Structure 1
Amino acid sequence: MRKISIISISLIILFVLIYVLVRPHPEIVSVSLISETTEITYTDIESIRIFDDAIRTVKKVRGAVDVGPPTYRMNVTYADSEVVKSSLYLDFKSKSGFLIKDSNSEKMLKLKDRSSKELTDLLSKLSTN
């Protein structure tokens, strides 16, 4: 009897793990950024990949958030028409950043270094055009 319950629990854990690893994440179709001076919408595959990687790999920062105005207001539109609104904070000198989702404005989400660099490189093109 004990052997059967161990096997059952193991199978349940295995199925949950497989679901978490292979479940599809929603597909981004566009990202709109709004600052005091600029408004741009990205729909090209490479830009969407950069934003998708950045969003999927954020790390939660402990504690409450009290920050100034964001570098950009960001609206991410998914294939199912869901729009997720966030504030994007980027430091173009240190190439670091974080975001705060409007749906949970108490939590800061730190961007990975690689993602921050890719985003700042992409968005630096705005000022050179």
Structure 2
Amino acid sequence: MDLDEVAAAVVARRPAWQQAGLAVEPVTWRDASAPWPQRLETDRSKVTDPDSVGIHLRGAPETELHIVLYRGGWADVDHLVSLDDPGVIPAPAMGSAEAFETLLDNWVARVFGFRGPADQDEVPDAGQ
């Protein structure tokens, strides 16, 4: 899995997500060759052997989506719809950045009701 391609896909979606009212945290990187405990970095140049990227989106009022994608093609996907409604979204194994992008769009739609730029006019409150 090319994690740099994944990060580029997230960056490309950032303006549409922000326009829909989502707060988009910087992509985080974990370096497999870093000593334990491994720090999460937002600066890709500080990571020599990336083994995961993290994505964190927040919507109103308490809605969150947190994804960690590992270079082996699996992901941990957690969401919070409200303080009383956290959950985990099952993620199938992925073989490419393109496969991840499709799943990413589906997860964002599931949690925030927002699929992409075409939906911007239809989603007045991204937290619903």
TM-score above 0.5, yes or no: no
Q: Which has the higher strand share?
A: 1
Which structure has the larger Rg?
Answer: 1
Q: Which has the higher helix share?
A: 1
TM-score, reference length from structure 2: 0.28
TM-score, reference length from structure 1: 0.28
